[in-house]
């Protein structure tokens, strides 16, 4: 086949891709996005399948049978977790406008510039071998289609200007620049690119299935026939058993682990799955459509490998090119061309996306931060930064592709596609600890991430790419065989004496062990800056922030509105900048032209949008150049915490207040109840008193009337009637006096000037006043005063009243005949104790309390009507209380009652009296 035709078809194919991209972008602008579709999303993820899959898998299967599979098993294992993992990463990235995996890592660890640079370097150096194998695949398939057989020359032996691979690299660079750097999108979204990638994924799948079906069902009679041939051929049957093909569990595990991390963290995978994602819910469908795609593209690999071995027993073709050489050897040129086109699409899609992703990283996380460190961006010389940004990206695209070509020419050629690709996978796996830790472990620090990644990368560089340099002569051969300086345990392929496993699994083991271990321990022994803490919180708890849409206000910053306008215009172009500010004005309902100073809100808004164009770290620096930036210091953070604490305390105080209020309400309620009770008692009392008043009045009235109306009343009777009238009147007076007394005592109106008096004297005076009455009633009585004087602070008349009341009570209630009253006065400790004992009926225990209560009167049916008003004891009680003393009664039924009064003596009671 002529080279001209193949070049023409390739160019036509590329033109067609541009057409697809153009149409997709046009539709996107009209709001009918083609790309906003979960199937397209899943297909774009299939950029995972590169020339490695397309050509390399067969090559790998020829030597190790099913050993090619872990690379696809890994993604199949991890895909069910995408709904959890990938979605979280997407949410985080969208909220932070993250543009690449390096940006993600830098942003998580406090928008660290250095971390961004390191991650970018790891990605670039890690991916270059990978890109080089795409160049190799395209150029060998080109050679094969043109010459019909594996070329006799090696690319490393011909001058570069005659080398087809160089021109392929240049063509790819041009192609990528046209695709990826036409304009600067603040979200780094390239709808056209995604559409083209999805189309390429369909094409490569159809092409591979076509060649698979051709080989299996046209060359042979189906799977059983092919496998039967394989199993009967000596030396081939080993391909169907993992152990015999040289794959052990350790190896298998590491390969699937590496591919697990690669399918999520490779810069191009991150780009299509996260940055280009239009809707996080597309992840769901992709998590089963993508494994299905992998299943389909892998099912014919082993049959093709067996067919290749069977068809070319002499090794006429490289196993890596069986896919193409099988149809070619059958003279199916058109089919071969189609298959070649499929391989071309597999390789180009990978190169384009990978290089675009790398160029974004190099621009945003490597070049810009270094440039920006030294400059402020207010000067007029940077009239249009967005063009400069695009320029940086274009240059990095060319540089990356030339580096890949250089690697291919120097070392890539003598290694198989898969072994070179795995070097890249191992490099990218170094991101796994910091990314996984980053989204689940808040404590992870920048220092931990930096040290961990550097250690992992160092071990990787030493154990994988370094040995491949041996053939170029950079590294002497004895270095590999004996270790550096003859130190055996430092041999790159058997580090620390670990041999017996493949280079990849030992490199993966050591690099990840160092990476994880150092990341973990350094994180534990270092602390985070305030910005790191807030970013960590945002990454780990993204769902919390999404729900509350809490805006992050970590930086207390101020800037001039005019400066922000200038910045946005420079980096995003004037139309875009104005659009953003107008949108902000509309959103916040403010007029920016009237404001001089922009608050943190607007600055954050500008920063996130700038971050979309130039990465988080760069945006932070640029915004920093125009703001008076005060990252929250620890003191301030404490202040915030304290404020929170104060608020908590305040709310606690409020709670206490409300509890108090409740208590007061309860007390009020109780008081109210008491008042009601009092009211009721008063009403009772009034009823009682009026009743008491009416009784004597009635009898006085009745007797007086009898005497008035009955003229002939004998003198004797008249005298008797008059005596009753007098006694009733006295009773009336007594009652009224008591009520008045009570009123006085209760209302504090009386002059309560207390003076030192001798209680013993008061008692004996009162006693002698009543002696006659007791003698009249034939009551035997006694008074024993055991200590004298008993000086108390008191009111002479009132205390006399107390003693009189008690004795009168005793007189009233003691037995009618043989009445006995004993009065004892003594000193107990610092109190004077007066006991008045009678031998009456006594007071039941249940009544002993209430007899002193206000307005109560013992009403006992059995005893008949009480002889007093019922106020005497209450008045007594009140008086005693006024003297800071107390009174109680001891009594058993039918045993008499003893009233006991205790009054504090003066020496001790000095301060207590009023």
Partner 1 sequence: MANDKTFKLLGIFFLAILAFNFPILNLFGKEKAILGIPVLFAYIFLSWAVVIFFTARIVESKKKSKTQ
CB 354 within 8 A of CB 425: no
Q: Which is nearer to partner 1, 291 or 421 (CB)?
A: 291
217 binds partner 1 (CB under 8 A): no
Contacting residue, 151, 228, 406, 484, with partner 1 by CB under 8 A:
228
Contacting residue, 12, 162, 295, 659, with partner 1 by CB under 8 A:
295
CA dihedral 206, 209, 214, 220 (to 10 degrees): -170
d(CA 628, CA 341) in angstroms, rounded, equals 56
675 binds partner 1 (CB under 8 A): no
State the first-to-last Cα distance of the chain, in angstroms, to the nearest integer.
127
Burial class (CB in 10 A: 0-12, 13-18, 19+), 454: middle
Residue partners of 600: CB distance under 8 A and separation at least 6: 553, 555, 556, 557, 558
Contacting residue, 18, 223, 462, 520, with partner 1 by CB under 8 A:
223
285 binds partner 1 (CB under 8 A): yes
Buried b (16+ CB within 10 A) or exposed e, 353-373: bbbbbbbbbbbbbbbbbeebe
Q: Please, which residues bridge with residue 692 across strands?
A: none
Site string for partner 1, 556-585 (x = CB under 8 A): ------------------------------
Contacting residue, 287, 468, 800, 898, with partner 1 by CB under 8 A:
287
Contacting residue, 152, 224, 380, 816, with partner 1 by CB under 8 A:
224
Report the chain's C-alpha Rg in angstroms.
Answer: 53
Q: Which is nearer to partner 1, 82 or 338 (CB)?
A: 82
Residue partners of 799: CB distance under 8 A and separation at least 6: 757, 759, 762, 792, 879, 883
Helix, strand or coil, per DSSP, at residue 798: helix
Residue 67 CA from chain centroid, whole number: 43
Q: Which is nearer to partner 1, 256 or 809 (CB)?
A: 256
CA proximity to 300, closest of 379, 401, 217: 217
CB of 241 to partner 1, least distance (A): 5
Site string for partner 1, 478-517 (x = CB under 8 A): ----------------------------------------
Burial class (CB in 10 A: 0-12, 13-18, 19+), 27: middle
Q: What is the DSSP letter of 837?
A: E
d(CA 112, CA 446) in angstroms, rounded, equals 7
Contacting residue, 183, 241, 384, 746, with partner 1 by CB under 8 A:
241
Residue appearing with tokens 């006693």:
767
d(CA 416, CA 780) in angstroms, rounded, equals 134
Q: Which is nearer to partner 1, 333 or 537 (CB)?
A: 537
Q: Footprint of partner 1 on residues 8-67 (CB under 8 A)?
A: 66
Q: Which is nearer to partner 1, 61 or 810 (CB)?
A: 61
240 binds partner 1 (CB under 8 A): yes
Q: Which is nearer to partner 1, 297 or 903 (CB)?
A: 297
Contacting residue, 126, 180, 186, 291, with partner 1 by CB under 8 A:
291
Q: Footprint of partner 1 on residues 67-86 (CB under 8 A)?
A: 69, 73, 76-81, 83-84
> Which residue stretch of 246-254, 312-320, 366-374, 467-475 sits at the interface with partner 1 (rule: CB under 8 A)?
246-254
761 binds partner 1 (CB under 8 A): no
> Which residue stretch of 283-291, 575-583, 625-633, 752-760 sits at the interface with partner 1 (rule: CB under 8 A)?
283-291
Q: Which is nearer to partner 1, 291 or 577 (CB)?
A: 291
> Which residue stretch of 251-259, 261-269, 380-388, 629-637 sits at the interface with partner 1 (rule: CB under 8 A)?
251-259
CB 286 within 8 A of CB 40: no
CB of 321 to partner 1, least distance (A): 23
Q: Which is nearer to partner 1, 250 or 382 (CB)?
A: 250
Helix, strand or coil, per DSSP, at residue 373: coil
253 binds partner 1 (CB under 8 A): yes
d(CA 435, CA 451) in angstroms, rounded, equals 14
Please report, as ranges, the residues that interact with partner 1 according to CB under 8 A: 66, 69, 73, 76-81, 83-84, 223-225, 227-228, 231, 237, 240-243, 248-249, 252-253, 256, 284-285, 287-288, 291-292, 295, 299, 302, 543
């Amino acid at each position: 086949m002529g080279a001209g035709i193949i070049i023409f078809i390739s160019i036509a194919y590329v033109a067609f891709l541009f057409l697809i991209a153009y149409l997709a972008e046009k539709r996107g602008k009209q709001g009918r996005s083609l790309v906003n579709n979960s199937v397209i999303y899943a297909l774009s993820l299939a950029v995972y399948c590169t020339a490695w899959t397309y050509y390399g898998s067969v090559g790998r299967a020829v030597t190790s049978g099913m050993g090619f599979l872990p690379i696809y098993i890994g993604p199949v294992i991890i895909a069910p977790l995408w709904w959890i993992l990938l979605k979280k990463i997407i949410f985080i990235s969208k909220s932070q406008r993250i543009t690449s995996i390096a940006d993600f890592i830098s942003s998580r660890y406090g928008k660290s510039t250095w971390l961004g640079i390191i991650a970018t370097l790891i990605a670039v150096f890690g991916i270059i071998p990978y890109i080089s194998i795409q160049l190799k695949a395209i150029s060998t398939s080109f050679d094969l289609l043109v010459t019909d057989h594996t070329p006799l020359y090696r690319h490393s032996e011909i001058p570069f200007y005659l080398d087809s691979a160089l021109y392929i690299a240049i063509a790819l660079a041009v192609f990528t620049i046209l695709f990826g750097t036409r304009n600067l999108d603040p979200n780094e979204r390239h709808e056209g690119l995604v559409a083209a990638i999805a189309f390429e994924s369909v094409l490569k799948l159809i092409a591979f299935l076509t060649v698979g079906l051709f080989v299996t069902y046209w060359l042979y009679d189906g799977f059983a026939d092919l496998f039967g041939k394989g199993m009967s051929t000596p030396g081939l049957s080993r391909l169907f058993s993992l152990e015999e093909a040289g794959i052990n569990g350790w190896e298998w595990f590491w390969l699937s682990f590496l591919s697990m991390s690669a399918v999520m963290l490779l810069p191009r995978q991150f780009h299509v799955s996260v940055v280009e994602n239009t809707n996080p819910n597309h992840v769901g469908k992709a998590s089963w459509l993508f494994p299905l795609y992998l299943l389909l593209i892998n099912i014919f690999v082993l049959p093709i490998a067996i067919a290749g071995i069977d068809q070319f027993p002499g090794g006429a073709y490289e196993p890596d090119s069986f896919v193409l050489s099988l149809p070619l050897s059958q003279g199916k040129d058109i089919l071969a061309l189609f298959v070649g086109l499929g391989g071309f699409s597999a390789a180009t899609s990978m190169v384009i996306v990978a290089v675009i992703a790398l160029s974004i990283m190099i621009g945003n996380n490597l070049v810009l931060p270094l440039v920006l460190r030294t400059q402020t961006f207010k000067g007029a010389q940077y009239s249009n930064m967005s063009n400069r940004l695009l320029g940086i990206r274009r240059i990095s695209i060319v540089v990356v592709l030339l580096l890949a070509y250089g690697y291919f020419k120097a070392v890539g050629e003598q290694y198989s596609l898969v072994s070179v690709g795995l070097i890249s996978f191992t490099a990218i796996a170094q991101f796994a600890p910091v990314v996984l830790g980053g989204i689940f472990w808040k404590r992870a620090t920048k220092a931990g991430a930096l040290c961990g990644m550097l250690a992992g990368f160092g071990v990787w560089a030493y154990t994988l790419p370094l040995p491949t340099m041996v053939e170029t002569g950079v590294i002497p051969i004895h270095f590999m065989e004996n270790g550096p300086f003859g130190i055996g345990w430092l041999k790159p392929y058997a580090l620390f004496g670990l041999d017996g496993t493949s280079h990849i699994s030992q490199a993966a083991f050591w690099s990840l062990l160092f990476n994880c271990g150092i990341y973990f321990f350094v994180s534990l022994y270092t602390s985070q800056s305030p910005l790191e803490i807030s970013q960590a919180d945002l990454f780990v708890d993204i769902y919390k922030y999404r729900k509350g849409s809490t805006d992050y206000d970590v930086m207390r910053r101020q800037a001039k509105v005019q400066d922000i306008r200038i910045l946005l215009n420079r980096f995003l172009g004037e139309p875009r900048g104005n659009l953003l500010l107008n949108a902000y004005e509309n959103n916040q309902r403010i007029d920016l032209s009237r404001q001089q100073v922009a608050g943190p809100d607007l600055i954050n808004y500008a920063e996130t949008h700038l971050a979309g164009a130039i990465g988080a770290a760069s945006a932070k620096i640029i915004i920093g150049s125009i703001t008076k930036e005060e990252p929250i210091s620890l003191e301030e953070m404490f202040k915030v915490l304290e404020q929170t604490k104060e608020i908590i305390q305040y709310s606690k105080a409020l709670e206490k207040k409300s509890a108090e209020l409740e208590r007061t309400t309860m007390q009020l309620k109780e008081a109210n109840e008491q008042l009601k009770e009092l009211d009721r008692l008063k009403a009772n009392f009034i009823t009682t008193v009026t009743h008491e008043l009416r009784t004597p009045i009635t009898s006085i009235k009745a007797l007086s009337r009898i005497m008035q109306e009955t003229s002939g009343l004998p003198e004797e009777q008249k005298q008797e009637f008059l005596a009753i009238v007098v006694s009733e009147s006295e009773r009336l007076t007594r009652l009224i006096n008591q009520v008045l007394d009570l009123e006085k005592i209760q209302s504090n109106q009386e002059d309560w000037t207390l003076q030192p008096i001798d209680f013993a004297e008061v008692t004996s005076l009162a006693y002698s006043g009543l002696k006659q009455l007791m003698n009249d009633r034939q009551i035997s009585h006694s008074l024993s005063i055991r200590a004298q004087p008993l000086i108390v602070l008191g009111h002479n008349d009132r205390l006399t009243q107390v003693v009189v009341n008690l004795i009168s009570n005793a007189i009233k209630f003691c037995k009618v005949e043989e009445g006995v009253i004993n009065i004892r006065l003594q000193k107990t400790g610092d109190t004077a104790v007066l006991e008045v004992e009678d031998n009456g009926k006594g007071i039941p225990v249940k009544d002993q309390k209430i007899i002193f209560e206000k307005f109560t009167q013992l009403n006992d049916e059995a005893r008949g009507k009480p002889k007093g008003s019922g106020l005497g004891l209450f008045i007594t009680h009140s008086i005693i209380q006024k003297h800071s003393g107390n009174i109680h009664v001891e009594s058993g039924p039918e045993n008499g009652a003893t009233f006991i009064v205790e009054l504090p003596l003066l020496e001790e009671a000095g301060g207590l009296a009023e």
